[in-house]
């Protein structure tokens, strides 16, 4: 069976974990956490980063920092993972779901604009498959209505919009280092703070509502409970694994892009003949090769293709289910039909993509897909 995903050790992960253990400090904000923070702030010019135990936790921190309360409204795409909006629902916000573009799963700024009102407290965008949303239009809306933007960049490490790193554009951004991502730590995430007004409070929230970080910097002579918060710090063991991956990000990205390009090359004929839809890239966005997906004609075709691939020892998977139709939120949703989100729910299929996937295996997968459509 060719799996959908396989976690990868590039070389020094276990070495650095051993070093973290030998240091005598494996709780949060140890040596390797600081190395990771320095790396991201230097390489991508993020104003401030804080590692978290997950991207979900980073989103929850963003919701707290924005003082989201019951009655507030948050605009977010329906075609996304539940964490994107659950962080704000936990604070009592009403979620206003926006639709995707017709040709790709990223949120349509026109749909976002139609939902703006006086209750809107944040716009959350998701850079699907690591390809940037139209951030010029999103930020234009943000500035016109004075509404902060949160970039859910869970899939978007090392991807850019008009030469700006994704995650550096909104007020906040969140990243994931889950084992399915390009750069991994098993579990793990990161909050990016691009507005310095939020930095001090972010440190407090991340440290259970205490000013412990200030204490360790010698800024106060004792620390205590000064705000709400929780324990969002990952172990330094997680950071040690992550740092080894970051040291090899260029090699990892190069291999993933080669796999992505081979998929696109092999499947372009099916795309040109309208058998499948292929990923859409824009001139403003780079491709970080987080994911390769195809768009099937309908739900039945996708279901049959998944079964066909499984019978031939290839694990392919669909992706998000429209959140506005979820068991939890459908009874609360009062908006319009989101036809594009629903179409991607029914038709998008993700193909295996991981570092150790061989080009010969990519060819095998593509030949199977071609065989399915020739029948």
- Give tens-digit pLDDT for 8-20: 988 899 999 999 9
- Given this model, what pLDDT does residue 205 score? 95
Q: What is the pLDDT of residue 211?
A: 86
Provide the β-strand partners of residue 175: 190
Q: How many other β-carbons are positioned within 10 Å of the β-carbon of residue 210?
A: 18
Tell me the residue ranges of DSSP E strands in 177-303: 189-193, 292-295
The whole-angstrom separation of Cα 136 and Cα 142 is 10
Q: Which residues, including other chains, have CB under 8 Å from residue 21's CB and lie 6 or more apart?
A: 237
- Cβ atoms 175, 52 nearer than 8 A: no
CATH class, 249-374 region: alpha beta
| pTM of the shown model | 0.96
Question: Where in the chain are the domains?
Answer: 13-246, 249-374
Q: Is 374 exposed, middle or buried (0-12, 13-18, 19+ CB in 10 A)?
A: exposed
Residue 224: helix, strand or coil by DSSP? coil
- C-alpha–C-alpha distance, residues 97 and 88, integer Å: 13
CA-derived radius of gyration, the chain: 21
Largest CA distance in the chain: 74
Beta bridge partner(s), residue 164: 161
Residue 106's pLDDT is 98
Q: State residue 219's pLDDT score.
A: 80
Question: Could you tell me how many residues make up the chain?
Answer: 375
Residues 6+ apart with CB under 8 A from 292: 259, 260, 263, 264, 279, 350, 351, 353
- The dihedral through the CA atoms of 28, 38, 125, 292 has a sign that is negative
Give the tens place of pLDDT for each residue, 198-227.
Answer: 999 999 999 998 888 777 777 877 788 888
Nearest to 236 by CA among 16, 30, 15, 21: 30
Spatial CA neighbour of 279 closest among 133, 81, 105: 105
The DSSP element (H or E) to which 212 belongs, if any, is: helix 212-216
Mapped onto helix, strand or coil, the DSSP state of residue 148 is coil
Residue 223: the pLDDT is: 85
From first to last of its 375 residues, the chain has per-residue pLDDT tens of 999 999 998 889 999 999 999 999 999 999 999 999 999 999 999 999 999 999 999 999 999 999 999 999 999 999 999 999 999 999 999 999 999 999 999 999 999 999 999 999 999 999 999 999 999 999 999 999 999 999 999 999 999 999 999 999 999 999 999 999 999 999 999 999 999 999 999 999 999 988 887 777 778 777 888 889 999 999 999 999 999 999 999 999 999 999 999 999 999 999 999 999 999 998 999 999 999 999 999 999 999 999 999 999 999 999 999 999 999 999 999 999 999 999 999 999 999 999 999 999 999 999 999 999 998
Q: Pick the closest to residue 159 from 84, 249, 33 (CA basis).
A: 249
Q: How many CA atoms lie within 13 A of 286 on its CB side?
A: 15
Fold adopted by 13-246: 3.40.640
H helices of 25-115, in order, are 31-43, 55-65, 83-89, 109-115
């Amino acid at each position: 069976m060719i799996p959908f995903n396989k976690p990868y050790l590039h070389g020094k992960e276990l070495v650095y974990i051993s070093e973290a253990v030998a240091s005598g400090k494996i709780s949060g904000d140890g040596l390797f956490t600081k190395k990771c923070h320095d790396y991201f702030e230097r390489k991508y010019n993020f104003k401030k980063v804080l590692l978290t135990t997950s991207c979900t936790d980073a989103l929850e921190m963003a919701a707290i920092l924005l003082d989201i309360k019951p009655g507030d409204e948050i605009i977010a795409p329906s075609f996304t993972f539940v964490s994107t909006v659950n962080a704000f629902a936990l604070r009592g916000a009403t979620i206003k779901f926006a639709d995707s573009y017709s040709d790709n799963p990223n949120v349509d700024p026109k749909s976002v604009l139609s939902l703006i009102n006086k209750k809107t407290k944040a716009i959350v965008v998701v850079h699907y498959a690591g390809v940037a949303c139209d951030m010029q239009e999103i930020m234009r809306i943000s500035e016109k209505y004075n509404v902060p933007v949160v970039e859910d960049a869970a899939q978007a490490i090392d991807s850019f919009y008009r030469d700006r790193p994704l995650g550096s554009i909104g007020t906040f951004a969140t990243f994931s280092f889950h084992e399915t991502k390009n750069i991994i730590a098993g579990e793990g995430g990161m909050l990016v703070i691009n507005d310095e007004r939020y930095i001090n409070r972010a440190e407090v929230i991340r440290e259970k509502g205490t000013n412990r970080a200030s204490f360790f910097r010698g800024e106060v002579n004792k620390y205590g409970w000064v705000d709400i918060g929780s324990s969002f710090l990952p172990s330094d063991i997680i950071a040690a694994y992550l740092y080894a991956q970051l040291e090899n990000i260029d090699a990892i990205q190069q291999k993933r892009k080669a796999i992505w390009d081979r998929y696109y090359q092999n499947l372009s004929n099916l795309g040109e003949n309208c058998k499948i839809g292929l990923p859409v890239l824009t001139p403003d966005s780079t491709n970080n090769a987080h994911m390769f997906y195809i768009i099937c004609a309908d739900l039945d075709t996708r279901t049959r293709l998944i079964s066909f691939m499984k019978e031939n020892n290839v694990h392919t998977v669909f992706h998000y289910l429209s959140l506005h139709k979820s068991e939890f939120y459908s009874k609360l949703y009062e908006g319009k039909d989101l036809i594009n989100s629903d179409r991607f729910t029914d038709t998008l299929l993700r193909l295996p993509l991981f570092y150790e996937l061989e080009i010969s295996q990519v060819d095998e997968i593509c030949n199977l897909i071609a065989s399915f459509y020739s029948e």
